[in-house]
Structure 1
Amino acid sequence: MLQPRRLPRPAPARVLALGAYLKNSACLVQGEALWCSPVHGDLGEPAACEALWASAQALRQAADGPIEAVAHDLHPDFESTRLAQALAAEWGVPAIAVQHHQAHIAAVQAEHGLRGPLLGLALDGVGLGDDGTAWGGELLLLQDGGAAWQRLGHLPTLALPGGDVAAREPWRMAAAAMQASGRSADIISLLAPAVGEPAVRLLSQMLARGLNCPPTTAAGRWFDAAAGLLGLSVRQSQEAEAAMALEALATAWRAQHPEALWPDLPMANGMPDLRALVPMLTQARQAAQTEAKAEAAAHFHSALAQGLARAALAAARQTGATQLALAGGCFFNRLLCAELHTALAGQGLKVWQPQQFSCGDAGLALGQAWAAAHALHRPAPAAPPPSLLELEV
């Protein structure tokens, strides 16, 4: 039987949330009680979908009363979304869509019982944005218990040449980063030795014409691009393999050079402009020396962290928020976390991260349930004052 945990603050409604597509799990919030299902895995597998259905039934039985809403991801094609909508219709309750990165930050808010406006850096591989594109490098502001949110900034947009396959082949993201930084002419000479000129030439044409190249702001794809530019990974056999190789190389170099500093990145769209790092990364690859690549990997981590800190502090000054949540799978990266905490130390911004729950998609359902519960009981906006014409009538 599922055992409840205790939330530091009560949820204002009894809500079942069905989680994300990757590393799916479900949860139920009811006052200060929280029930979490096991992690089911990715919903591309039939067994994971069956396990999610079984967990939804078990969580409903654990509730002390009727479910008031079923929360789900914004993506309409996820099996978790379809199941949420079906259950909501069956039970006669609302199905509430919660944007992926809003849910990441709301999960931190729920776990720690945070009040007031909350800034959030949500960095991961993919999540559908409210504009229909793939997000993943987001600076958000959450208010009203996570029910209301605003996108304050995002990392530079990259093309995904070939669509989803680009997330499995870092050389494609390397090409996309070169194109985004105005270095398209060098794509073939840099990447052809690794994957062959015909493949690179075809990809260059796709990028130039924008064919099958959907945009993304995902931090995970920028990590892939950096690893691809340094020649650390061509194709990934496991998720985040390229990013972990980049982190390992950078961590080893940073341990030997703890005082190293690099110039600040320019800012764009309220976030660090990682396009400015592409020349440095390509030069390190061309140097063909492990030391040069290791320093470049460390430079990438430090520059990203420093830029994220500057973005968060600027947003804090703009909004008056004094708390910052860090969430999304990129924060499994210990070096990035350490660099970011160092950059924010003593700046008056309290930083929160998941402790008992995953910072990745396995912890997303909690944020969905929390945001949806507050949306369900959010006060209706006040009616506008009557116009002069209405007063005359």
Structure 2
Amino acid sequence: MNRRKLVEITGIVQGVGFRPFVYGLAHARSLSGWVCNDAHGVTLEVQGDDPALDGFLHALTHALPPLARIDRCTVTDRPALPDERGFAIRQSQPTGDACACISPDQGACPACLADVANPLDRHYRYPFTNCTHCGPRYTIIRRLPYDRPATAMADFAMCPRCAAAYRDPLDRRYHAQPVSCPECGPQLTLRGPDGRPLAEREAALAGAVAALRDGALVAVKGMGGFHLMCDAADAAAVARLRALKRRARKPLAVLCRDRCQAEPLVQASEAEWQLALSQARPITLMRKGKAVLAPNLAPGVPYLGLFFPYTPLHQLLLEGCDRPLVATSANRSGAPILTEGEAVLRELGHDLDLLLDHNRPILHPCDDSLVQIAGGRRQMLRLARGYAPWSPPLSQPLVAPVLAVGAQQKVNLALAFGRTRLYGPYLGDLGSLAMQQEFETQLALYRDLYRFRPALLACDDHPGYDTSRWAQAQADAGLSLLRVQHHHAHLLAVMAEHGITGPVNGIAFDGTGLGADGTLWGGEWLRADVHGCTRLGHLKPFRLIGGEQAIREPARLLLGWLLESMSPVAIRALRLPAIERLGEARFANLCQLWRLGRNAPYASSVGRLFDALAALLDVVETLDYEGEAGLLVEGAAMGAEPLPMAFALDEQGVFDAASLLPALLGPAPAGQKAAGFIAALADLVARLAEREPGLPLVLAGGVFQNRLLMEQVAARLPTPFLVSETLPLNDGGIAAGQLWYAIHHPDAARPGLTHE
């Protein structure tokens, strides 16, 4: 007896070969029915006898295509249709409010790279080869359902052979929306710095390869934006690139052809290689090896960011150049990623040698993801290409749509509506009008895709952040607004990833964020749940002499820390190089600012303590980028025997770094002092864990990106602890934490706040 089932599926099931997968399952079991995309995901009806139906439904959820993910699968009975024959893939049904998940862009799959390398295949050496298992998704989508007319490929008419593959449910390019070939798809153009076309197609690729081998600086249009590229062993080319980016010392990522080419450059575990070579192809931080590249690639720091080609274009470039290349986003520091050739020429053209362009539009910029292995676990430092948008499902539907906007740095958007929760890709720091426009543009994408109109907003407590000001303006127009304390949000992001509501024993160590008492926090011990937090303890505060200026000049932080326990005369007697360079007049002026408290706020920040230590050890004078001091201290500590020292911890939970000074001011080598400081911090974490043994331990904040610290914490704690592996521990996770707070706020379930 035939039975019929209606199956409704949500998750990542569009643009990943899900319909042909369903077709194949039904065809193999001689089942009848149909399948189609709709605004919610995939809907199908299937009919046949019990054994075949049971086998179909089991395979449907247990043998998914590589990029697919099912969040919810609802099966209901339908009346059988006695005259139905065969199984069909129907046209998409773009009706109702969209909630289908957007797949992140994915690196080229082995099958497509094999096609590109095969002289007998029609995709031979074609830079835009892809299939349902790989290629762009997020960066080319206009609307849902995800079909070719709704993408940046709408204007590329398929040739007969591509059209045949696109329409064949048994072909791996069936409904691969960017499918194309040299006859009908996007093409390369090599342009001079004045914009003049110099070569097309294969000749354009050859021209770019020759220029890169000859030391040129070339802008290359990739999947989510332009890269600036040059020979990674050419110090002069790297110096030119740094001048163009206005990035003096911040490490630059290196693109390698394959593992064989990369292995001499780094010391890496098998887990790190597997992560770097996964289909997401993230930039992966690994310890530097013995092979020498340009010394100005990542000066003074112990790690090198390596990644591998994730498009056929990158693969062809690397094969042609036969050497590692610097590949960093084509934008000046603090500006948005550039996605159009004309913008690159306008902003950077006079400093470039060549531009390798193509005519497939990038609708939504997306940076490269940045990851590492720390304490035996993956850490996401930048959530972007290959991983974002990330859309973990909600177990219960929301009535009110929620938007969380993050902090000021490393901003991304986080939103939830119905059963959908979505974390957008990394945007950057909102310090410029152009970056604020990018924020608005990404929000408009979600508004258009999902008809998303937030009724409830969440932002940081700090009223001066651009995100907070934006949220307040929306609240002034009638939306409900929740403000979430910065370090509470850090902990909530970890809790969100693990799906817990608390209470937890939370340790949040970062740079600075506005505390609940109006002072600057950054070394916090909190008991937290989804409704609030209690401050159990903190680092004993010290003054940031000069406020924001102190963050750029660590000697000011060092002086502010020392003045908490020493007189100016005693400090001068130490003859520390960082203090000596201030000169007598400036030293006296800074001490006066400290005494008066004028533009010298107190901060309980472990991140700023790392900066002060970097000045004490004389490993840096002025900071070029966020986290530089921590990386330099970590580099100094590697391989050194830790000098014994410990934080003082009182009954009120205040931990005082002054107890470290006798060891740090002694005659031991800088490496031993750095190693001792990190060991003392790991010991402190273990001691704080012991004080709340009945609660899960959650670690959050950018300080826990320190790999030595995480390894030592993992070694000291007798029971597992919780950290993020997919959401960033740094401020890139703040929006996710704010969202988790808002989801559990009573307003999120208030019937009056509805999704329009």
How is 1:206-355 mapped onto 2 (pairs within 5 angstroms)? 206-253=593-640, 257=641, 262=644, 264-268=646-650, 269-283=652-666, 287=667, 292-314=669-691, 316-317=692-693, 320-321=694-695, 323-344=696-717, 346=718, 348=719, 350-355=720-725
1:36 equivalent in structure 2: 423
Alignment check: 8 A CA contact 2:643 2:672 kept: no
Share of identical aligned residues, percent? 35
- Residues 95-104 or 195-204, more deviating: 195-204
Alignment check: 8 A CA contact 1:126 1:135 kept: yes
Larger Rg: 2
Alignment check: 8 A CA contact 1:123 1:219 kept: yes
Give the whole-Å Cα distance in 1 for the aligned partners of 2:419 and 2:673. 47
1:362 equivalent in structure 2: 732
2:225 equivalent in structure 1: none
Give the whole-Å Cα distance in 2 for the aligned partners of 1:245 and 1:38. 28
1:20 equivalent in structure 2: 407
Give the whole-Å Cα distance in 1 for the aligned partners of 2:508 and 2:409. 16
Give the whole-Å Cα distance in 1 for the aligned partners of 2:547 and 2:494. 30
Measure how far apart 1:378 and its partner are: 8.7
Measure how far apart 1:57 and its partner are: 2.6
- Residues 325-334 or 25-34, more deviating: 25-34
Counterpart AA for 1:107: A
The Cα offsets for residues 276-296 of structure 1, whole Å up to 9 and x where unpaired, read as 11232222xxx3xxx611101
Kindly report the root-mean-square deviation, in angstroms, between the aligned alpha carbons of the 2 structures: 2.4
Moved over 6 A (4+): none
Measure how far apart 1:88 and its partner are: 3.9
TM-score by length of 2: 0.45
Is structure 2 residue 538 aligned with structure 1 residue 151? no
Is structure 2 residue 556 aligned with structure 1 residue 172? yes
> Which of 525, 529, 543 is the equivalent residue of 1:139?
525
Alignment check: 8 A CA contact 1:18 1:52 kept: no
- Cα 1:27–1:62 change in 2 (3 A) is farther
Give the whole-Å Cα distance in 1 for the aligned partners of 2:748 and 2:421. 20
Is structure 2 residue 93 aligned with structure 1 residue 93? no
- Cα 1:263–1:238 change in 2 (3 A) is closer
- Cα 1:279–1:208 change in 2 (3 A) is farther
- Cα 1:107–1:96 change in 2 (3 A) is same
Structure 1 stretches of 5 or more lacking a match? 381-393
The Cα offsets for residues 6-50 of structure 1, whole Å up to 9 and x where unpaired, read as 147557553101111011111112355322223222111111111
Q: Of Structure 1 and Structure 2, which has the larger fraction of its residues in helix?
A: 1
Give the whole-Å Cα distance in 2 for the aligned partners of 1:183 and 1:362. 39
Give the whole-Å Cα distance in 1 for the aligned partners of 2:654 and 2:395. 32
Give the whole-Å Cα distance in 2 for the aligned partners of 1:11 and 1:207. 52
Counterpart AA for 1:238: Y
Measure how far apart 1:155 and its partner are: 0.7
> Which of 379, 392, 409 is the equivalent residue of 1:6?
392
Measure how far apart 1:84 and its partner are: 1.4
Give the whole-Å Cα distance in 1 for the aligned partners of 2:607 and 2:742. 27
Measure how far apart 1:273 and its partner are: 1.7
Alignment check: 8 A CA contact 1:10 1:33 kept: no
- Residues 56-65 or 126-135, more deviating: 56-65
Give the whole-Å Cα distance in 2 for the aligned partners of 1:11 and 1:134. 36
1:388 equivalent in structure 2: none
Measure how far apart 1:115 and its partner are: 4.0
Measure how far apart 1:192 and its partner are: 4.0
Alignment check: 8 A CA contact 2:644 2:663 kept: no
- Cα 1:261–1:5 change in 2 (3 A) is same
- Cα 1:188–1:94 change in 2 (3 A) is same
2:546 equivalent in structure 1: 162
Is structure 2 residue 464 aligned with structure 1 residue 81? no
TM-score by length of 1: 0.84
Measure how far apart 1:110 and its partner are: 0.6
1:372 equivalent in structure 2: 742
Give the whole-Å Cα distance in 1 for the aligned partners of 2:397 and 2:634. 37
- Cα 1:88–1:220 change in 2 (3 A) is same
Q: Higher relative contact order by CA 8 Å / sep ≥ 6: 1 or 2?
A: 1
1:188 equivalent in structure 2: 572
- Cα 1:17–1:295 change in 2 (3 A) is same
Alignment check: 8 A CA contact 2:493 2:736 kept: yes
- Cα 1:135–1:274 change in 2 (3 A) is same
Counterpart AA for 1:217: S
- The 3-state SS of whatever aligns with 2:681 is helix
Measure how far apart 1:312 and its partner are: 2.5
Give the whole-Å Cα distance in 1 for the aligned partners of 2:620 and 2:659. 21
Alignment: residue pair count = 359
1:67 equivalent in structure 2: 454
Give the whole-Å Cα distance in 1 for the aligned partners of 2:449 and 2:537. 40
Counterpart AA for 1:334: R
- The 3-state SS of whatever aligns with 1:359 is coil
Counterpart AA for 2:496: A
- The 3-state SS of whatever aligns with 1:77 is coil
- The 3-state SS of whatever aligns with 2:581 is helix
Alignment check: 8 A CA contact 2:390 2:424 kept: no
The Cα offsets for residues 59-110 of structure 1, whole Å up to 9 and x where unpaired, read as 33444765330111111121111211223444x4311111111111101111
Measure how far apart 1:377 and its partner are: 5.0
Alignment check: 8 A CA contact 1:4 1:36 kept: yes
